[in-house]
Structure 1
């Protein structure tokens, strides 16, 4: 079993691409590539990027949910960029609510370090999606808080959420971003930036240490998954036995009711309450027992 799991882990490793967040996170540790990606998405220039954490984890209290951010970087002016690779949309509005949660956690983390609310920094939460998150076929969806009555009046709270759509066909974007989105979508790398990105993916995948880390994580996940499935099956069997016994008692109670057995006798025989037994009676039977 262990050998089969290891073989599956190795096959999974060989099939990894830029759209896998394990690979994406490590590729984005290349400061030049990360910097250029942000610059092309936002049409800005960045002098310097800083990585406060290789993988940013925010856990505000022991009793709160924590969040782990794939790529968390700051530029020379203190602007924060959180970049996440997203391959699943989730249920309902789960994806967009996650950006709200990330924003709140980042702000609370800053406030917890002594920053006053009026000093909260500009933040960009960027989701790179392998699917169209809004179904409008745009390559990029950018959201900032604006006034409904005066659309050009921005709130100016320093928060922006951006979704890149690898399936998008609409909207004019930088050539590097267009090629990057095609690459995320599984096409061949094209253009200097994306080709450099593809070479970095291959370099990362040829690192023995990174491969061992991934395979260890993969096998650990499989172990927990199998344990969870086993526990779920056992729970299902227990619940199934209980449900089967319950159904048997209900069937017995119905039979006794049909034979006009006194309710107190049925209560003792089935272990059911009088109210539960009465719900099993037909309207005619209820009338006869009055």
Structure 2
């Protein structure tokens, strides 16, 4: 199997790499995120701070952490009000997720855990959290453009249960609900071409995307990223076939090869991408003149490595 490399020019906003690159760009990142959120949520945002590809490490090695695609923090105007912060977790999902509700429940718990310190008694300080999942398929099969989910009381539907948590699922293929502005935004995110620039908000977004696509640093990172994926796909394909052959001896050769191939490709891709990102961080930082000790701190903070593991990566690169 030969992996056909993609071109940066052909990426849509919903692609994980493109979305993160645009959101993290120093020049246009804030405008990009503000435009996406203000249209999808139909609200104006105040002062915002953006973090892309944020890793939240697990509390113990055997537990699982998470990687947030884009986190946007909005400072609320009333400094005396509690909470004083809105947090938006924006997650484009091109890969189908079978258990979105529990997947997002886990993400929400990990995100919230960072905002309450040990000994804190006033839970009013916990920020409002809005989790936005954007997909190219219908996660619930009801043909809605937007599914808005928040907690409520079954016995008293009118009871206000203000826990500050809302989940939004945006389905780019949906036909029901939404506004013309939201529909146009989702269509552009799915197919980010000049033909789909139909209003001022999307025009702003398109300018951001076009600017990012010609940035030398982004182009270089994307080429490295695609090289890693291509190498891992070919490698994992071979490993998957071998694993499938072994399983096929016990459970039927045809079924085993298919299952082994899928598991091998998925496992190899995840591990390869993670490995590639670490090495890209080191190479790009060194080319930019960043001292090794500062790179070490980035490896520990971004990828949850121990100091020993981080130093090993520095020595190997």
Task: Provide TM-score, normalisation by structure 2.
Answer: 0.66
Q: Secondary structure of the equivalent of 2:185? A: helix
Name the larger-Rg structure: 1
CA distance in 1, matches of 2:138, 2:251: 43
Matched, 1:182 2:187: yes
Q: Which residue of 2 aligns with 1:288?
A: none
Aligned counterpart in structure 1 of residue 155 of structure 2, from 149, 160, 183: 149
CA deviation after TM superposition for structure 1 residue 241, in Å: 6.5
Q: Secondary structure of the equivalent of 2:52? A: coil
- Retained in 2: the 8 A contact 1:111–1:117? no
Aligned counterpart in structure 2 of residue 202 of structure 1, from 194, 207, 210: 210
CA deviation after TM superposition for structure 1 residue 12, in Å: 3.9
Structure 2 residues not aligned, in runs of 5+: 77-84, 253-317
Aligned length: 235
Q: Secondary structure of the equivalent of 2:149? A: strand
Aligned counterpart in structure 1 of residue 114 of structure 2, from 109, 115, 119: 109
Q: Which residue of 1 aligns with 2:55?
A: 57
Aligned counterpart in structure 2 of residue 85 of structure 1, from 92, 97, 100: 92
CA distance in 2, matches of 1:106, 1:66: 10
Task: Provide TM-score, normalisation by structure 1.
Answer: 0.72
CA deviation after TM superposition for structure 1 residue 205, in Å: 1.4
Q: Secondary structure of the equivalent of 1:36? A: helix
CA deviation after TM superposition for structure 1 residue 104, in Å: 0.8
Q: Secondary structure of the equivalent of 1:26? A: helix
CA distance in 1, matches of 2:70, 2:236: 29
Residues 113/89 of structure 1: CA separation in 2 closer, same or farther (3 Å cut): farther
Structure 1 residues not aligned, in runs of 5+: 245-290
Q: Secondary structure of the equivalent of 1:28? A: helix
CA deviation after TM superposition for structure 1 residue 80, in Å: 0.6
Q: Alpha carbon RMSD of aligned pairs, Å?
A: 2.6
Residues 204/135 of structure 1: CA separation in 2 closer, same or farther (3 Å cut): same
Q: Which residue of 1 aligns with 2:311?
A: none
